[in-house]
Amino acid sequence: MLAMRDRPSALGFGLGLRPQHYGEILDGNPDVDWFEILSENYFARGGQPMRMLDAIRERYPVVMHGVSMSIASTAPLNMDYLASLKALADRVNPHWISDHLCWTGVHGVNLHDLLPVPYTEEALSHVADRISRVQDYLGRRIAIENVSSYIEYAASEMSEWEFVAEVSRRADCWLLLDVNNVFVSGTNHGFDGNQFIDTIPVDRVVQFHLAGHSEGNGHLVDTHDQPVCDEVFELYGEALKRFGPVSTMIERDGNIPPLADLVAELGRARAVADSVFGSGTTADAA
């Protein structure tokens, strides 16, 4: 039985580590509590990327975040991928490892996208079983992230939040709650983000993602190339009220600004947390 005390300690306020910022991080010791690395960027590599990662690891806690586990795919689990992930984890010693509740391809193809699943009992059983197998292989719980989606399947038998919550229970995994993804999918599919948040088990959530999105053709698209919008910060405040102090970070993958801009944006997340918990209490509460 999972207890709240099993949940990893909150790390504070972090950023996604991007190569553009290596120098600024090492030269400036920015006011960032931790970094999330993209696991695939460091698979079986040497040279400067690993050297930079090693240097940053010495100063900051690190978590690993992947985009290619394809946990919901009906293709066999990619054991080479998992071996690389395990080897990297052995070297990096991350606080946790995460990936997305999605599939990225079948029949040997990788679409390099985070495709949603139909919220069916079949998919639920399939995904929970695969998460369990991955956790057994890695010897640790992983955190699974809700994705942004632009479609809903006619086959779905339950809501996304019911699906996510039940996956976490059946697989006994952590959850990475992407607040922007809740907002994007909620806007695209006409649900209230608070309803999503209020259904997710509190003891499962180890991390929040914040990110920006763009206006698509009549719907929102999860582009990570804009600042976090007001509505997402507002929803983040609601999430903090439900889940308490949870490790929070901002993802930026396009139009990447100088590190100082992201640190300033992270300051806004700190301010939201201060408004929920009282100034200066977030680190202690962790």
Partner 1 sequence: MTTGGNPGLAELQARMQAAILADSPAGDALALIAEPEGNTPGERLETYRSAYRIRLVSILREEFDALHAFLGDEEFDALALAYVAACPSSTPDARWYGKRFAGFALSTQPWGKHPVIGELAALQWALSGAFDAADAPVMQMDDLAAIPADAVAGLRLTFHPSAGLLERKTNACEILTALRSAAEPVAPSTIDDGSAVMVWRGDNRARYRIIEAEEAMLAREAMGGQDFSLLCEMAATMADLDTAAMRVASVLRGWIDSGVLTGVQLPA
For residue 196, count CB atoms less than 10 angstroms from its CB and return exposed for 0-12, middle for 13-18, buried for 19 or more: buried
4 contacts partner 1 (rule: CB under 8 A): no
According to CB under 8 A, which one of 12, 68, 71, 177 is a site residue for partner 1?
Answer: 68
Shortest Å, Cβ 44 to partner 1: 7
117 contacts partner 1 (rule: CB under 8 A): yes
Rounded Cα distance between 109 and 106, Å, is 6
Shortest Å, Cβ 95 to partner 1: 22
Rounded Cα distance between 153 and 75, Å, is 20
225 contacts partner 1 (rule: CB under 8 A): no
- The site map against partner 1 for 74-113 (x = CB under 8 A) is x---x--x---------------------xxxxxxxxxxx
Rounded Cα distance between 179 and 247, Å, is 13
218 contacts partner 1 (rule: CB under 8 A): yes
Shortest Å, Cβ 35 to partner 1: 19
6 contacts partner 1 (rule: CB under 8 A): no
DSSP 174-232: EEEEEHHHHHHHHHHHT--HHHHHHHS-GGGEEEEEE---EE-SSSEE--S-SPPPHHH
139 contacts partner 1 (rule: CB under 8 A): no
Pick out residues in 167-206 that bind partner 1 (CB under 8 A): 188-190
Residue 208 near residue 197 (C-beta atoms within 8 A):
no
Q: Closest Cα partner for 199 from 228, 234, 175? A: 175
Residues making contact with partner 1 (CB under 8 A):
40-41, 43-51, 68, 70, 73-74, 78, 81, 103-113, 115, 117-118, 120-123, 126, 150-157, 188-190, 216-219, 221
